Amino acid sequence: MKEVSILDKRFSEFISEESIEQRITQLAEQINSEMDGREVIFLGILNGAFLFAASLFRQIKIDALISFVKLASYEGTGTTGRIKELIGWNEDLKGKTVIVIEDIVDTGGTVERVVDELKMRKAADIRIAALLFKPDAYKRNITIDYVGFNIPDNFVVGYGLDYNGHGRNLPSIYTLVNS
Point out which residues bind ligand IMP (CB under 6 A): 48, 73-74, 79, 102-110, 155-157, 161
Least distance CB 105 / ligand IMP (angstroms): 5
Least distance CB 70 / ligand IMP (angstroms): 11
Residue with smaller CB distance to ligand IMP, 55 or 110: 110
Residue with smaller CB distance to ligand IMP, 32 or 107: 107
Given the residues 63, 106, 116, 153, the one annotated as active site: 106
Least distance CB 159 / ligand IMP (angstroms): 10
Residue with smaller CB distance to ligand IMP, 94 or 139: 139
Instruction: Note whether 60 and 32 are within 8 A (CB).
Output: yes
Concerning whether 106 is annotated as a catalytic residue, the answer is: yes
Could you give the residue numbers annotated as active site?
106
